[in-house]
Amino acid sequence: MNSPLATLNKILTCSFVDGPGNRLVLFFQGCNLACSACHNPYTIGICDHCGDCVPACDPGALTLQSNKVIFNPALCDQCDACLTICPISASPMTTQFSVDDILALIRIHKPFLGGITVSGGEATMQADFVKDLFTAIKSAPDLSDLTCFIDSNGMLDIAGWQNLLPVTDGVMLDIKAFAMDLQKELTGHDTSAAQNIARVLLKAGKLYEIRYLLIPGKTDNTAELDQLVAFIQSLGLDTKVRLNAFQHHGVRGLALDQDIMPKEGVDAVVELLADAGIHNVTTPAIYQ
C-alpha cells in the first residue's frame, strides 16, 4: 500500500480510557487548537527543525543532521528538557509509522484488544493515514473484529468526516465551551463547529461520547452548564457524557495558576445533569 506515514508522539498498547474495552492508542503529533489547559501540550506543534532543543539535550539524543533534528531513542533519558524549550509546543521525539508498522503492532497485542483509538494531538489532521489504517483493519480477516475509534476536537470539516465515517466505529468528541469569548480564551479558536459535527456523528450512529473538561470558574459556570444541558438534551438524553476534571498533571504555563477541579464540583455537575434527565455520565476514576 502506498500510504502516507503517520507522525506519532506515542503509542499506548493498553488503555482503559480511550473507548470501550482495552485499546491500543495512537497519539498523533500536531493539533489545530492550542488549548491552554492541554494535558499533553507537547503534542500540539509540528517540529520545524529549528534546532533549539538540540543543545538542551544533555545525553546527546538529539543531533542536527543536514538541517534536520534526528532523535536517537537509545540515548534519551526522558528528561523532557527538549519539550520545555521548544517554542512551538512540538516534540523532536516523534516517530513515523506506516500502516503496515501499525498493523504488525496490533497483531502482537490482538488477544487483549477490543479495538484501536486514534488520539493526539488531533488525529484527523492526518486523516488520510487514519482512513488507510482503518480500512486495512476492516479488511484484514484476523483484525476485522476490532473497533476503530477517533478521539477528536471536531475541527475537521463535514466532508472530512464523511470520508472517515464509513470505516470508523465511534467518535469521542470534545466540546470545549459554549460562549464564544470563552472558546477563544481556552483554545485560541472558534470551536462551535464541533457542536454541528456532533449532530452529524449522531445521525451516522457514530457518536460514542461527548467529552467536556470542567475548569473551575470557566466551563463550570451556570451559563456554560445550562448550555451544556441544552446541547446534550438536543442530542438525546441517553448520550454518553464524560466529564473530565482539570488537574495540573501535564499542563504548562499560566494554566498552572488555574485552580484544579475538585471531586465535589464534578459531583455537583453530575447532579445537575441528572436533574435534566442526562444519566449516562462518567466521571474521572482518580483525582490528584
Partner 1 sequence: MPEITEKLRKITNDPTLSPAQKAHYLAVEAENMLPYPELDADVQEALDDRIICDMFEGHAPYKPRYVLPDYSIVLKNGSDYLELPVPQNLDEAINTLMIAYHHVPSVTGMPVYLGDLDNLLLPFCDGVSDDALRQKIRLFWRYLDRTLPDAFMHANIGPSDNRVARAILEIDAELGQVAPNLTFLYDPDTSTEDILRLATDNILKCSKPHIANHPVHKATFDDRGYGIVSCYNALPVAGGSSTLTRINLKAVAELSDSESHFLNEVLPRYMDMNFRLTETRISYLFDQSGFFDSFLVSEKWIDRDRFTAMYGIYAMAEAVNILQDKAALEGRYGFDDKANDLGLRISKMLSEAVEARPLKNAWQGRAMLHSQAGLSDDIEATPGIRIPYGTEPDPVSHVQALAPQHQYYPSGVSEILTIDETVKNNPEALYQLCKGALASGFREFTANVSSNDLVRVTGYMIRLSDVQKFNDQKGSRTNTTGLGAEAADLMGILDRKPRVVGHELSPGYT
Q: Which residues bind ligand SF4 (CB under 6 A)?
A: 47-53, 56-57, 59, 61-62, 69, 76-82, 86, 88, 90-93
Which 8-state DSSP code applies to residue 5? P
Among 1, 5, 14, 180, binds partner 1 (CB under 8 A): 14
Distance of alpha carbon 226 from alpha carbon 262, whole angstroms: 20
Question: 112 vs 185, which CB is nearer to partner 1?
Answer: 112
Distance of alpha carbon 18 from alpha carbon 186, whole angstroms: 23
Rule CB under 8 A: which of 91-150 touch partner 1?
Answer: 108-109, 111-114
Of 31, 32, 35, 30, the C-alpha closest to 185 is 35
Return the one option of ligand SF4, partner 1, none that residue 59 interacts with (CB less than 5 to 8 A, by type).
ligand SF4
- Adjacency order of strands within the sheet including 207-214: 95-97, 6-15, 23-28, 115-120, 147-152, 170-175, 207-214, 241-245, 281-282
Q: Write down the least CB distance from residue 62 to ligand SF4, Å.
A: 5
Return the one option of partner 1, ligand SF4, none that residue 188 interacts with (CB less than 5 to 8 A, by type).
none
Distance of alpha carbon 175 from alpha carbon 183, whole angstroms: 10
Return the one option of ligand SF4, partner 1, none that residue 78 interacts with (CB less than 5 to 8 A, by type).
ligand SF4
Q: Write down the least CB distance from residue 22 to partner 1, Å.
A: 4
* CB-count burial class (<10 Å; 0-12, 13-18, 19+) for 229: middle
Name the residues that contact partner 1, by CB under 8 A: 12-14, 16-17, 20-23, 108-109, 111-114, 282, 285-286
